[in-house]
């Protein structure tokens, strides 16, 4: 799914993510996720930082990206900035290390033993393998086989 700018250059979604990530990181935040609606008219950006995200953080990033998109002639109708929420998506290898000890639900691209959906405790990531404790048993899954993963919210913290 691509996205057309006002000039003749066509931004791919990957190039747009790289542009957003560079801008967000430059402001001191982490780009957690990015979504677009059909025809890329809605841009949804999820950000985080160690001590959490406030409304002011979302406003800061929104103003910065709005100016950046104007300069880059990126055509869109609506921009939404938000925190990833308690059920934060886990996408990068570093996320699986950072959230070791936390509960997660995850879905595999290719099933293992006729099963694609799992739930367990994240044990960490090394060499492209993510280790989980699933039903008391340690299991390892290739990072590139994990289609989606999300933290399971804990309310006892």
Give the three-class secondary structure for 107: strand
pLDDT tens, per residue, the chain with 157 residues: 344 433 334 567 788 999 999 999 999 999 999 988 877 689 999 999 988 899 999 999 999 999 999 999 888 899 999 999 999 999 999 999 999 999 999 999 999 999 999 999 999 999 999 999 999 999 999 999 999 999 999 887 5
Instruction: Give the position of tokens 């933290």.
Output: 151
3-82 fold: GMP Synthetase; Chain A, domain 3 (3.30.300)
93-151 fold: SH3 type barrels. (2.30.30)
**Contacts of residue 21, Cβ cutoff 8 Å, sequence gap at least 6:** 31
Instruction: List the one residue out of 47, 22, 25 whose CA is nearest residue 34.
Output: 47
Dist. CA 44–CA 41, nearest whole Å: 10
Q: What is the value of pTM for the model shown?
A: 0.79
Q: Calculate the CA 62 to chain-centre distance.
A: 17
The domain limits of the chain are 3-82, 93-151
Give the three-class secondary structure for 54: coil
Report angle CA 106, 48, 89 to the nearest 5 degrees. Answer: 10
């Amino acid at each position: 799914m691509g996205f057309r700018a006002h000039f003749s250059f066509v931004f791919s979604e990957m190039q747009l993510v790289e542009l957003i990530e560079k801008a967000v990181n430059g402001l001191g935040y982490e780009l957690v996720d990015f979504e677009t609606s059909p025809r890329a008219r809605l841009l949804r950006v999820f950000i985080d930082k160690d001590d959490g995200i406030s409304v002011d953080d979302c406003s800061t990033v929104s103003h910065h990206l709005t100016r950046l998109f104007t300069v880059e002639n990126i055509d869109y109708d609506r921009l939404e900035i938000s925190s990833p929420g308690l059920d934060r998506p886990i996408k990068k290898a570093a996320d699986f290390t950072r959230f070791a000890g936390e509960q997660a639900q995850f879905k595999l691209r290719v099933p293992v033993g006729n099963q694609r959906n799992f739930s367990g405790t994240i044990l960490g990531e090394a060499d492209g393998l993510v280790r989980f404790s699933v039903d008391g048993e340690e299991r390892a899954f290739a990072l590139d086989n994990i289609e989606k993963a999300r933290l399971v919210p804990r309310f006892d913290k």
